[in-house]
Amino acid sequence: MKTNCFFYNKSIKKYSITPNGVIMSKSHSNIALIKYWGKHSNKIQIPLNSSISYSLGKVYTVTRLIYQEKKKITYLKVFFSGKEKTSFLPKILKFFYRISFYCSYLRNFNFIIETSNTFPHSCGIASSASSMSALALCIMKIEKKLVSSLKEDFFFKKASFLARLGSGSACRSIYPGLVVWGYHQSIEGSSNLYAIPYPYEVHSIFTKIEDTILIIDDNPKKILSSKGHQLMNNHPYARERFKYANQNMNRLISILKRGDFQEFGELIEHEALTLHAMIMTSRPYFLCMKANTLNVIHMVWDFRKQNNKNIYFTLDAGANVHLLYPIQEKTSIIKWIYSDLFFYCKKIIESFCL
Q: Decide whether 16-197 matches 207-353 in CATH topology.
A: no
pLDDT, tens only, 314-345: 999 999 999 999 999 999 999 999 999 999 99
What integer best gives the mean pLDDT of the chain?
A: 93
The answer to whether the beta carbons of residues 79 and 114 sit under 8 Å apart is yes
CA angle 287, 89, 71 (to 5 degrees): 170
DSSP class of residue 282? Answer: S
Q: Specify the pLDDT at position 347.
A: 93
Q: Which of 27, 26, 19, 61 is nearest to 145 (CA)?
A: 19
What CATH architecture is 16-197?
A: 2-Layer Sandwich (3.30)
Instruction: Return the pLDDT at 123.
Output: 53
- The C-alpha atoms of residue 290 and residue 321 are separated, in whole angstroms, by 11
Rounded-to-integer distance, Cα 289 and Cα 319, Å: 4
- For residues 272 and 323, what is the distance between their CA atoms, to the nearest angstrom? 12
Q: Can you tell me the distance from the alpha carbon of 317 to that of 322, in angstroms, rounded to the nearest whole number?
A: 12
pLDDT at 14 over 70: no
Residues facing 209 on adjacent strands: 326
How many CB atoms are closer than 10 A to CB 252?
21
Hey, which residues does 321 pair with through a beta bridge? Answer: 214, 315
Which DSSP symbol is given to 214?
E
Angle CA(331)–CA(333)–CA(334) in degrees, nearest 5? 70
HSE toward the beta carbon, residue 309, CA cutoff 13 A = 26
Evaluate if residue 243 carries a pLDDT over 70: yes
Strand partners, 212: 323, 350
Amino acid at 183: Y
Q: Which of 33, 26, 90 is nearest to 256 (CA)?
A: 33
Band of pLDDT at residue 82, cut at 50, 70 and 90: very high
pLDDT range class, residue 13, cuts 50, 70, 90: low
- The answer to whether 52 touches 196, Cβ cutoff 8 Å, is no
Predicted confidence band of residue 11 (pLDDT cuts 50, 70, 90): low
Instruction: Sketch the domain layout of the chain as residue ranges.
Output: 16-197, 207-353
Rg (CA), the chain: 20
- Per-residue pLDDT band for 227 (boundaries 50, 70, 90) equals confident
121 has a pLDDT exceeding 80: no
In this structure, whether the domain defined by 207-353 belongs to CATH 3.30.70.890 is answered with yes
**Structure letter (DSSP) for residue 104:** G
3-state secondary structure of 157: helix
- pLDDT class of 256 with cuts at 50, 70, 90: very high
Q: What is the tens place of the pLDDT at every residue in 152-197? A: 999 999 999 999 999 999 999 999 999 999 999 999 999 999 999 9
Residue 334 CB coordination number (10 Å): 16
Q: What percentage of the chain has pLDDT greater than the value 70?
A: 96
Does the pLDDT at position 221 exceed 80?
Answer: no
Q: pLDDT band for position 122 (50/70/90)? A: low
Residue 153: the pLDDT is: 97
**Confidence band (pLDDT; 50, 70, 90) for 4?**
confident
Say how far apart CA 169 and CA 29 lie, in whole Å. 9
Is the confidence at residue 120, as pLDDT, over 80?
no
pLDDT score of 220 = 79
